[in-house]
Amino acid sequence: MRHNERIWAGFRQIEIQMIGAQSLGELVDTLVNRIPELFLAVDCVSLVCVDPEYELSRLMAAYPKSQIGRYFIPVDREWLDTLVSVTGRPRLGPCDAQLQARMFSSCGVRLNSCAIAPLTLHGALIGCLNQGSRDAGHFSADSATDLLEHLAAVTAMCIDNVVNHERLKRDGLTDALTGVANRRFFERRLHEELVLRRRRCNSIALLLADLDHFKDLNDRYGHQVGDDALRQVARALSEGLRASDVLVRYGGEEFALLLPDTDPEKALEIAQRLRAQVAGLVLDGMGGEVAAVTVSIGVACLWPEGGLASKTDDDAGTWLLRQADDALYRAKAAGRNQVVAAERPRAGKQIPDSRKH
Protein backbone atom coordinates (compact mmCIF):
# COMPACT_ATOMS: atom_id res chain seq x y z
CA MET A 1 0.00 0.00 0.00
CA ARG A 2 2.82 2.41 0.86
CA HIS A 3 4.47 1.58 -2.46
CA ASN A 4 1.24 2.28 -4.36
CA GLU A 5 0.71 5.52 -2.42
CA ARG A 6 4.21 6.67 -3.39
CA ILE A 7 3.49 5.91 -7.05
CA TRP A 8 0.18 7.80 -6.95
CA ALA A 9 1.85 10.76 -5.23
CA GLY A 10 4.48 10.85 -7.97
CA PHE A 11 1.86 10.77 -10.70
CA ARG A 12 -0.09 13.57 -9.01
CA GLN A 13 3.00 15.78 -8.94
CA ILE A 14 3.57 15.19 -12.65
CA GLU A 15 -0.08 15.84 -13.47
CA ILE A 16 -0.14 19.12 -11.54
CA GLN A 17 2.96 20.32 -13.39
CA MET A 18 1.55 19.27 -16.75
CA ILE A 19 -1.76 21.01 -16.10
CA GLY A 20 0.15 24.19 -15.27
CA ALA A 21 2.34 24.02 -18.40
CA GLN A 22 2.07 27.12 -20.59
CA SER A 23 3.70 25.62 -23.70
CA LEU A 24 4.23 22.28 -25.39
CA GLY A 25 7.95 22.52 -24.63
CA GLU A 26 7.24 22.97 -20.92
CA LEU A 27 4.88 19.98 -21.01
CA VAL A 28 7.48 17.74 -22.69
CA ASP A 29 10.12 19.05 -20.27
CA THR A 30 7.96 17.92 -17.35
CA LEU A 31 7.48 14.42 -18.76
CA VAL A 32 11.09 13.91 -19.81
CA ASN A 33 12.62 15.08 -16.53
CA ARG A 34 10.09 14.50 -13.78
CA ILE A 35 9.18 10.88 -14.55
CA PRO A 36 12.81 9.61 -14.26
CA GLU A 37 13.31 11.77 -11.15
CA LEU A 38 10.31 10.31 -9.37
CA PHE A 39 10.56 6.74 -10.72
CA LEU A 40 14.19 5.71 -10.62
CA ALA A 41 13.73 2.53 -12.67
CA VAL A 42 12.66 4.68 -15.64
CA ASP A 43 15.72 5.78 -17.61
CA CYS A 44 14.20 7.57 -20.57
CA VAL A 45 10.92 9.16 -21.62
CA SER A 46 9.80 10.33 -25.06
CA LEU A 47 6.62 11.73 -26.59
CA VAL A 48 5.51 10.65 -30.05
CA CYS A 49 2.82 12.67 -31.84
CA VAL A 50 1.14 12.74 -35.23
CA ASP A 51 2.01 16.16 -36.66
CA PRO A 52 0.93 16.43 -40.32
CA GLU A 53 0.96 20.26 -40.38
CA TYR A 54 4.22 20.56 -38.37
CA GLU A 55 2.36 22.73 -35.87
CA LEU A 56 3.68 20.83 -32.84
CA SER A 57 7.22 20.78 -34.25
CA ARG A 58 7.16 24.58 -34.63
CA LEU A 59 5.94 24.97 -31.06
CA MET A 60 8.75 22.73 -29.83
CA ALA A 61 11.34 24.64 -31.86
CA ALA A 62 10.31 27.85 -30.08
CA TYR A 63 10.98 26.36 -26.63
CA PRO A 64 14.23 27.84 -25.21
CA LYS A 65 15.53 24.50 -23.85
CA SER A 66 16.41 23.16 -27.29
CA GLN A 67 17.67 19.81 -26.01
CA ILE A 68 14.15 18.90 -24.91
CA GLY A 69 13.15 18.79 -28.56
CA ARG A 70 15.12 15.57 -29.01
CA TYR A 71 12.53 13.75 -26.91
CA PHE A 72 9.61 14.92 -29.04
CA ILE A 73 9.17 12.66 -32.08
CA PRO A 74 6.75 13.56 -34.91
CA VAL A 75 5.52 10.52 -36.86
CA ASP A 76 3.00 9.73 -39.56
CA ARG A 77 -0.25 8.05 -38.59
CA GLU A 78 0.39 4.86 -40.59
CA TRP A 79 3.57 4.13 -38.66
CA LEU A 80 1.88 4.91 -35.36
CA ASP A 81 -0.98 2.52 -36.15
CA THR A 82 1.53 -0.33 -36.59
CA LEU A 83 3.06 0.44 -33.20
CA VAL A 84 -0.02 0.77 -31.03
CA SER A 85 -2.13 -2.22 -30.11
CA VAL A 86 -5.57 -2.48 -31.72
CA THR A 87 -7.00 -2.69 -28.20
CA GLY A 88 -5.77 0.81 -27.44
CA ARG A 89 -4.13 -0.46 -24.25
CA PRO A 90 -0.51 0.29 -23.27
CA ARG A 91 2.10 -2.05 -24.74
CA LEU A 92 4.63 -3.34 -22.20
CA GLY A 93 7.56 -5.63 -22.81
CA PRO A 94 11.07 -5.94 -24.29
CA CYS A 95 12.70 -3.01 -26.03
CA ASP A 96 14.90 -4.17 -28.91
CA ALA A 97 17.54 -2.06 -30.65
CA GLN A 98 15.22 -1.15 -33.53
CA LEU A 99 12.48 0.08 -31.21
CA GLN A 100 14.97 2.04 -29.10
CA ALA A 101 16.41 3.71 -32.21
CA ARG A 102 12.95 4.84 -33.22
CA MET A 103 11.41 5.77 -29.88
CA PHE A 104 14.38 6.55 -27.60
CA SER A 105 17.12 7.69 -29.97
CA SER A 106 18.33 10.35 -27.50
CA CYS A 107 18.79 7.87 -24.66
CA GLY A 108 22.46 7.18 -23.93
CA VAL A 109 21.98 3.77 -22.28
CA ARG A 110 20.78 0.43 -23.60
CA LEU A 111 17.12 -0.06 -22.76
CA ASN A 112 15.76 -3.56 -22.15
CA SER A 113 12.08 -2.93 -21.47
CA CYS A 114 9.60 -0.22 -22.31
CA ALA A 115 6.00 0.91 -21.97
CA ILE A 116 4.19 2.52 -24.89
CA ALA A 117 0.94 4.20 -23.83
CA PRO A 118 -1.40 5.42 -26.61
CA LEU A 119 -2.63 9.01 -26.43
CA THR A 120 -6.20 9.48 -27.62
CA LEU A 121 -8.14 12.71 -27.90
CA HIS A 122 -11.83 12.92 -28.84
CA GLY A 123 -11.65 9.25 -29.81
CA ALA A 124 -8.68 9.72 -32.19
CA LEU A 125 -5.15 8.41 -31.74
CA ILE A 126 -2.76 11.39 -31.60
CA GLY A 127 0.45 9.77 -30.35
CA CYS A 128 1.98 7.78 -27.52
CA LEU A 129 3.87 8.38 -24.30
CA ASN A 130 6.91 6.12 -24.00
CA GLN A 131 9.00 5.08 -21.02
CA GLY A 132 12.14 2.94 -21.20
CA SER A 133 14.13 1.10 -18.56
CA ARG A 134 17.46 -0.75 -18.39
CA ASP A 135 15.71 -3.28 -16.17
CA ALA A 136 14.36 -6.01 -18.45
CA GLY A 137 11.65 -6.86 -15.93
CA HIS A 138 10.45 -3.38 -15.06
CA PHE A 139 7.88 -3.17 -17.86
CA SER A 140 6.45 -6.64 -18.33
CA ALA A 141 3.39 -7.75 -20.27
CA ASP A 142 1.61 -8.97 -17.13
CA SER A 143 1.90 -5.62 -15.28
CA ALA A 144 -1.17 -3.57 -14.45
CA THR A 145 -1.61 -0.56 -16.73
CA ASP A 146 -4.18 1.54 -14.88
CA LEU A 147 -1.70 4.25 -13.89
CA LEU A 148 -0.13 4.38 -17.36
CA GLU A 149 -3.55 4.77 -18.97
CA HIS A 150 -4.47 7.51 -16.51
CA LEU A 151 -1.21 9.39 -17.16
CA ALA A 152 -1.68 9.01 -20.92
CA ALA A 153 -5.21 10.42 -20.72
CA VAL A 154 -4.02 13.44 -18.74
CA THR A 155 -1.10 13.93 -21.14
CA ALA A 156 -3.41 13.96 -24.18
CA MET A 157 -5.70 16.53 -22.55
CA CYS A 158 -2.73 18.71 -21.57
CA ILE A 159 -1.34 18.58 -25.12
CA ASP A 160 -4.72 19.78 -26.38
CA ASN A 161 -4.77 22.55 -23.76
CA VAL A 162 -1.29 23.93 -24.50
CA VAL A 163 -1.79 23.78 -28.28
CA ASN A 164 -5.09 25.65 -27.97
CA HIS A 165 -3.40 28.15 -25.65
CA GLU A 166 -0.64 28.72 -28.21
CA ARG A 167 -3.21 29.10 -30.99
CA LEU A 168 -5.15 31.70 -29.04
CA LYS A 169 -1.96 33.58 -28.26
CA ARG A 170 -0.86 33.42 -31.89
CA ASP A 171 -4.26 34.36 -33.32
CA GLY A 172 -4.71 37.21 -30.87
CA LEU A 173 -1.41 38.82 -31.88
CA THR A 174 -1.21 37.84 -35.56
CA ASP A 175 -2.80 39.35 -38.65
CA ALA A 176 -4.85 36.60 -40.28
CA LEU A 177 -4.29 37.76 -43.87
CA THR A 178 -0.52 38.33 -43.94
CA GLY A 179 0.65 36.08 -41.10
CA VAL A 180 2.77 38.85 -39.52
CA ALA A 181 2.11 40.37 -36.10
CA ASN A 182 -0.76 42.80 -35.60
CA ARG A 183 -1.03 46.27 -34.10
CA ARG A 184 -1.80 44.92 -30.64
CA PHE A 185 1.50 43.02 -30.65
CA PHE A 186 3.33 46.12 -31.94
CA GLU A 187 2.02 48.28 -29.09
CA ARG A 188 3.16 45.68 -26.56
CA ARG A 189 6.64 45.36 -28.09
CA LEU A 190 7.05 49.12 -28.48
CA HIS A 191 6.34 49.56 -24.78
CA GLU A 192 8.83 46.81 -23.91
CA GLU A 193 11.55 48.35 -26.08
CA LEU A 194 10.96 51.81 -24.62
CA VAL A 195 11.35 50.40 -21.12
CA LEU A 196 14.61 48.70 -22.15
CA ARG A 197 15.78 51.93 -23.77
CA ARG A 198 15.87 53.62 -20.36
CA ARG A 199 18.20 50.96 -18.98
CA ARG A 200 20.39 50.44 -22.03
CA CYS A 201 20.40 54.02 -23.38
CA ASN A 202 20.06 52.66 -26.91
CA SER A 203 18.39 54.01 -30.03
CA ILE A 204 15.15 52.68 -31.53
CA ALA A 205 14.16 53.11 -35.17
CA LEU A 206 10.64 52.93 -36.55
CA LEU A 207 9.70 52.48 -40.20
CA LEU A 208 6.14 53.07 -41.40
CA ALA A 209 5.57 51.60 -44.88
CA ASP A 210 2.36 52.25 -46.79
CA LEU A 211 1.38 50.68 -50.13
CA ASP A 212 1.08 53.25 -52.89
CA HIS A 213 -2.23 53.61 -54.79
CA PHE A 214 -3.65 50.56 -52.99
CA LYS A 215 -7.27 51.64 -53.58
CA ASP A 216 -6.59 51.90 -57.32
CA LEU A 217 -5.05 48.41 -57.24
CA ASN A 218 -8.16 47.00 -55.59
CA ASP A 219 -10.51 48.86 -57.93
CA ARG A 220 -8.68 47.76 -61.07
CA TYR A 221 -7.77 44.15 -60.26
CA GLY A 222 -10.13 43.19 -57.44
CA HIS A 223 -9.71 42.52 -53.75
CA GLN A 224 -8.19 39.09 -54.34
CA VAL A 225 -5.20 40.71 -56.07
CA GLY A 226 -5.13 43.35 -53.33
CA ASP A 227 -4.96 40.67 -50.65
CA ASP A 228 -2.19 38.92 -52.56
CA ALA A 229 -0.31 42.22 -52.74
CA LEU A 230 -0.51 42.62 -48.96
CA ARG A 231 0.77 39.08 -48.41
CA GLN A 232 3.67 39.49 -50.83
CA VAL A 233 4.63 42.88 -49.42
CA ALA A 234 4.64 41.42 -45.91
CA ARG A 235 7.02 38.68 -47.05
CA ALA A 236 9.27 41.19 -48.83
CA LEU A 237 9.42 43.46 -45.77
CA SER A 238 10.32 40.53 -43.52
CA GLU A 239 13.37 39.48 -45.55
CA GLY A 240 16.70 40.07 -43.86
CA LEU A 241 15.30 41.25 -40.53
CA ARG A 242 16.93 40.26 -37.25
CA ALA A 243 15.20 38.14 -34.63
CA SER A 244 14.82 41.25 -32.44
CA ASP A 245 13.14 43.28 -35.21
CA VAL A 246 9.34 43.47 -35.32
CA LEU A 247 7.23 43.62 -38.47
CA VAL A 248 3.49 44.21 -38.05
CA ARG A 249 0.51 45.02 -40.19
CA TYR A 250 -0.31 48.32 -38.55
CA GLY A 251 -3.64 48.75 -40.28
CA GLY A 252 -5.15 48.57 -43.75
CA GLU A 253 -2.28 48.76 -46.25
CA GLU A 254 0.22 50.12 -43.70
CA PHE A 255 3.06 48.15 -42.10
CA ALA A 256 5.32 49.11 -39.19
CA LEU A 257 8.85 47.88 -38.53
CA LEU A 258 10.36 48.36 -35.09
CA LEU A 259 14.17 48.10 -35.15
CA PRO A 260 15.88 48.12 -31.73
CA ASP A 261 19.53 49.24 -31.50
CA THR A 262 19.37 50.84 -34.95
CA ASP A 263 20.70 54.33 -35.70
CA PRO A 264 19.20 56.62 -38.38
CA GLU A 265 21.83 55.81 -41.01
CA LYS A 266 21.27 52.06 -40.67
CA ALA A 267 17.51 52.54 -40.56
CA LEU A 268 17.63 54.49 -43.83
CA GLU A 269 19.75 51.77 -45.42
CA ILE A 270 17.26 49.11 -44.34
CA ALA A 271 14.31 51.19 -45.54
CA GLN A 272 15.84 51.70 -49.00
CA ARG A 273 16.57 47.97 -49.30
CA LEU A 274 13.01 47.05 -48.34
CA ARG A 275 11.52 49.67 -50.68
CA ALA A 276 13.53 48.18 -53.57
CA GLN A 277 12.45 44.64 -52.63
CA VAL A 278 8.80 45.60 -52.77
CA ALA A 279 9.25 47.48 -56.06
CA GLY A 280 10.62 44.29 -57.58
CA LEU A 281 7.45 42.31 -56.85
CA VAL A 282 5.33 41.12 -59.76
CA LEU A 283 1.66 40.36 -59.14
CA ASP A 284 -0.72 38.48 -61.40
CA GLY A 285 -3.54 40.84 -62.30
CA MET A 286 -6.80 40.18 -64.08
CA GLY A 287 -6.79 38.59 -67.55
CA GLY A 288 -3.05 37.96 -67.59
CA GLU A 289 -2.12 41.54 -66.74
CA VAL A 290 0.88 42.13 -64.53
CA ALA A 291 0.32 44.44 -61.57
CA ALA A 292 3.08 46.40 -59.88
CA VAL A 293 3.19 47.55 -56.28
CA THR A 294 5.40 50.03 -54.43
CA VAL A 295 5.62 51.42 -50.91
CA SER A 296 6.44 54.77 -49.38
CA ILE A 297 8.40 54.63 -46.12
CA GLY A 298 8.77 57.10 -43.29
CA VAL A 299 11.72 56.63 -40.92
CA ALA A 300 12.06 57.98 -37.38
CA CYS A 301 14.52 57.28 -34.59
CA LEU A 302 14.62 57.78 -30.82
CA TRP A 303 18.00 58.72 -29.40
CA PRO A 304 19.01 58.48 -25.74
CA GLU A 305 20.60 61.92 -25.45
CA GLY A 306 19.07 65.21 -24.40
CA GLY A 307 15.46 65.74 -23.47
CA LEU A 308 14.39 62.56 -25.28
CA ALA A 309 15.66 60.43 -22.42
CA SER A 310 13.75 62.39 -19.79
CA LYS A 311 10.21 61.82 -21.05
CA THR A 312 7.85 59.01 -20.14
CA ASP A 313 7.71 55.92 -22.31
CA ASP A 314 4.20 56.83 -23.51
CA ASP A 315 5.34 60.30 -24.59
CA ALA A 316 8.42 58.87 -26.31
CA GLY A 317 6.33 56.29 -28.15
CA THR A 318 3.77 58.89 -29.24
CA TRP A 319 6.55 61.16 -30.51
CA LEU A 320 8.24 58.33 -32.42
CA LEU A 321 5.01 57.34 -34.16
CA ARG A 322 4.18 60.96 -35.00
CA GLN A 323 7.63 61.56 -36.48
CA ALA A 324 7.48 58.41 -38.62
CA ASP A 325 3.96 59.25 -39.76
CA ASP A 326 4.99 62.79 -40.74
CA ALA A 327 7.96 61.38 -42.68
CA LEU A 328 5.66 58.92 -44.44
CA TYR A 329 3.33 61.77 -45.44
CA ARG A 330 6.27 63.64 -46.94
CA ALA A 331 7.34 60.50 -48.84
CA LYS A 332 3.86 60.30 -50.36
CA ALA A 333 3.93 64.00 -51.25
CA ALA A 334 7.35 63.61 -52.88
CA GLY A 335 5.94 61.23 -55.48
CA ARG A 336 5.61 57.88 -53.64
CA ASN A 337 7.98 54.89 -53.83
CA GLN A 338 10.22 57.05 -51.65
CA VAL A 339 12.01 56.83 -48.30
CA VAL A 340 11.98 59.97 -46.15
CA ALA A 341 13.60 60.30 -42.73
CA ALA A 342 12.37 62.46 -39.87
CA GLU A 343 14.73 65.08 -38.53
CA ARG A 344 17.14 63.71 -35.98
CA PRO A 345 16.31 65.20 -32.56
CA ARG A 346 18.95 67.53 -31.18
CA ALA A 347 20.25 67.37 -27.64
CA GLY A 348 17.99 69.32 -25.35
CA LYS A 349 15.00 69.19 -27.67
CA GLN A 350 11.90 68.21 -25.75
CA ILE A 351 9.23 65.71 -26.72
CA PRO A 352 5.75 67.21 -26.35
CA ASP A 353 3.93 65.79 -23.35
CA SER A 354 1.00 63.75 -24.76
CA ARG A 355 -0.96 64.32 -21.56
CA LYS A 356 -1.36 68.01 -22.43
CA HIS A 357 -3.29 67.26 -25.62
The residue ranges of every structural domain in the chain are 2-172, 181-356
Which class is 2-172 in CATH? alpha beta
pLDDT, one tens digit for every residue, the chain (357 residues): 777 777 788 888 999 999 888 889 999 999 999 999 999 999 999 999 999 888 899 889 888 887 888 999 998 888 888 888 667 889 999 999 999 999 999 999 999 999 999 999 988 899 999 999 999 999 999 988 988 999 999 999 999 999 988 887 777 888 989 989 999 999 999 998 888 877 777 889 999 999 999 999 999 888 888 999 999 999 999 988 887 899 999 999 999 999 999 999 999 999 999 999 999 998 876 556 677 899 999 999 987 654 454 456 678 899 999 999 999 999 999 999 999 999 865 544 444 443 333
C-beta separation of 303 from 203 below 8 A: yes
Tell me whether strands 113-121 and 91-94 are parallel, antiparallel or unpaired: antiparallel
Tell me whether strands 283-284 and 44-50 are parallel, antiparallel or unpaired: unpaired
Radius of gyration of the chain (CA): 27
Count Cα neighbours of 264 within 13 Å in the Cβ-side half-sphere. Answer: 18
Please state which CATH number belongs to domain 181-356.
3.30.70.270
C-beta separation of 351 from 308 below 8 A: yes
Nearest CA-CA partner of 182 in 142, 217, 230: 230
CA–CA gap between residue 135 and residue 114 (Å, rounded): 9
Catalogue the long-range contacts made by 1-10 (C-beta closer than 8 Å, 24 or more residues apart): 7/39, 7/147, 8/147, 10/38, 10/39
C-beta separation of 320 from 204 below 8 A: yes
